[in-house]
């Protein structure tokens, strides 16, 4: 029975991107990481360190009746990543957690193999306008260049931010495939930002976030 557990400190260089013709500054580093991977027992039915999704601190709130869902592998990253490309707004990611799961299905009985949870914080300056932030999609980039696309399906995140307001929250993505957690080198995320009050028509996009969060596990 094989078991791998990796912990360590990883530094990621600052990245400078361009969004909607304006300079988009992203910077940060992975300040701690933890990977736990399990292998099948001799009969192929039980895995060491496997546990119920309902027992996981990040994911138990989005279990949605999947009482039999199990976590097989997991990787957790603490980060101080931030983006201040939208004038008067600072978007931060404090933590990313990726899990490989079994028996996790949506309401249409479609099974997913992976889940991603992200902890966010957003600060809207006092002299700025009211605004909304909406999650888009997530892509996991592997060391060999392969990309695994996921979709946003749940969040505990009030997307309206009045001027002078700061909030934190959690955003969740699901993936149809997930079997190479230890080979993930980057998470690519998109978010849309819109100025306006709570009743604003959200069809207009005033700012696009194009997030590249490097995740380099120490081998």
pLDDT band at 13 (very low <50, low <70, confident <90, very high): very low
The answer to whether residues 120 and 169 touch, using CB atoms and an 8 Å cutoff, is yes
pLDDT band at 169 (very low <50, low <70, confident <90, very high): confident
pLDDT beyond 50 at 218: no
- The pLDDT value given to residue 4: 31
**What is the mean predicted confidence (pLDDT) over 2-26?**
36
User: Is the dihedral angle over the CA atoms 50, 53, 55, 59 positive or is it negative?
Assistant: positive
DSSP bridge partners of 98: 75, 116
Which among 90, 86, 119, 117 has a CA at the least distance from the CA of 101? 117
Lookup: tokens for 174: 């699901």
Angle at the Cα of 58 from the Cα atoms of 53 and 62, rounded to 5 degrees: 65
pLDDT beyond 60 at 30: no
- The pLDDT value given to residue 60: 75
d(CA 29, CA 9): 9
- The pLDDT value given to residue 156: 73
Q: What is the reported pTM?
A: 0.77
Lookup: tokens for 183: 């080979």
Query: Strand (E) positions, the chain?
Result: 3-8, 15-19, 22-27, 30-38, 51-52, 70-83, 89-105, 111-124, 131-142, 147-156, 160-161, 166-175, 184-195, 207-214
pLDDT beyond 60 at 102: yes
When the pLDDT of each residue in the chain is averaged and rounded to a whole number, the result is 77
Percent residues over pLDDT 90 in the chain: 37
Residue 87: DSSP 8-state: T
Percent residues over pLDDT 70 in the chain: 72
**What is the mean predicted confidence (pLDDT) over 100-106?**
89
Lookup: tokens for 100: 């490989």
Lookup: tokens for 108: 């249409």
pLDDT in tens, 105-133: 887 888 999 999 999 899 999 999 999 88
pLDDT in tens, 54-88: 888 888 777 666 778 899 999 998 888 899 999 99
């Amino acid at each position: 029975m094989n078991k791998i557990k990796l912990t360590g400190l990883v530094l990621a260089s600052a990245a400078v991107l361009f969004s909607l013709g304006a300079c988009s500054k992203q910077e940060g580093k992975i300040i701690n990481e933890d990977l736990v991977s399990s292998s099948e027992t001799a009969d192929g039915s039980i895995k060491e360190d496997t546990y119920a999704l309902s027992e996981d601190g990040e994911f138990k709130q989005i279990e949605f009746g999947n009482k039999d869902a199990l976590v097989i592998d997991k990787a957790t990253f603490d980060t101080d990543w931030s983006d201040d490309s939208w004038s008067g707004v600072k978007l931060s990611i404090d933590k990313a957690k990726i899990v490989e799961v079994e028996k996790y299905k949506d309401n249409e009985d479609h099974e997913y193999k992976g889940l991603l949870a992200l902890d966010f914080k957003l600060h809207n300056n006092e002299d700025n306008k009211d605004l909304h932030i909406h999650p888009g999609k997530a892509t996991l980039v592997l060391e060999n260049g392969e990309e695994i696309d996921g979709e946003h399906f749940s969040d505990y995140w009030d997307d309206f931010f009045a001027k002078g307001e700061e909030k934190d929250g959690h955003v969740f993505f699901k993936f149809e495939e997930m079997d190479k957690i230890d080979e993930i080198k980057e998470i690519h995320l998109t978010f849309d930002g819109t100025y306006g009050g709570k009743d604003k028509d959200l069809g207009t996009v005033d700012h696009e976030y194009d997030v590249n969060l490097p995740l380099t596990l120490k081998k």
